[in-house]
Amino acid sequence: MGLLQRIFDAHGLATVSITQVREISELVLPSLACLVEHPFGLTLGAAGDDATHRAVLRACLAEATQPHSAGTIVDLGFHWDRDDLRERQLRKQAH
């Protein structure tokens, strides 16, 4: 995701991305990333959870209007507490 964003940044496009893993974004350093700590495959939230999907998207889009410096990673404050799926994914024990 960050590699694509860097390409778009280099072409002069305004961009904002969601990232699920801060340490990967720190390796790639795109112009502006928004950290959402949800499981892989559930980036915006659980299936059918429209309220969370909207909240994530609104928060991410709102950051695009802010005067962040290049390379900023904004923690949007979304965490996953439904189960241990994300933790297992981060240990490569689930996908």
Partner 1 sequence: MGSPGSDSVDRYRGFAQVEYAYVRERVHPTFDWTTFAQPSPRHRLQRPLEQARVALVATAGAHLPDQPAFDLGKGGDSSYRELPADAGELRFSHVGYDTRHARTDPDVVFPLALLRRLTTEGEIGELAPRAFSFMGYIPEPEPLLHETGPEVAGKLLADAVDLVLLVPS
Q: Which residues bind partner 1 (CB under 8 A)?
A: 1, 3-24, 27-32, 40-48, 50, 53-54, 57-58, 60-62, 64-65, 67-72, 90-92, 95
The partner residues of 73 in beta bridges, in order of sequence, read 33
Show Cβ contacts of residue 81 under 8 Å, excluding neighbours closer than 6 positions: none
Return the number of the residue (43 or 84) whose C-beta is nearest partner 1.
43
Q: Least separation, in Å, of the C-beta of 62 and partner 1?
A: 8
Output 66 or 77, the one with its CB closest to partner 1.
66
DSSP class of residue 66? S
Q: How far is the CB of 80 from partner 1 (least distance, A)?
A: 12
Nearer to partner 1, 17 or 76 (CB): 17
CA dihedral (83, 54, 9, 63) in degrees, to 10, reads -100
Nearer to partner 1, 77 or 87 (CB): 87
Residues 6+ apart with CB under 8 A from 95: 40, 41, 89
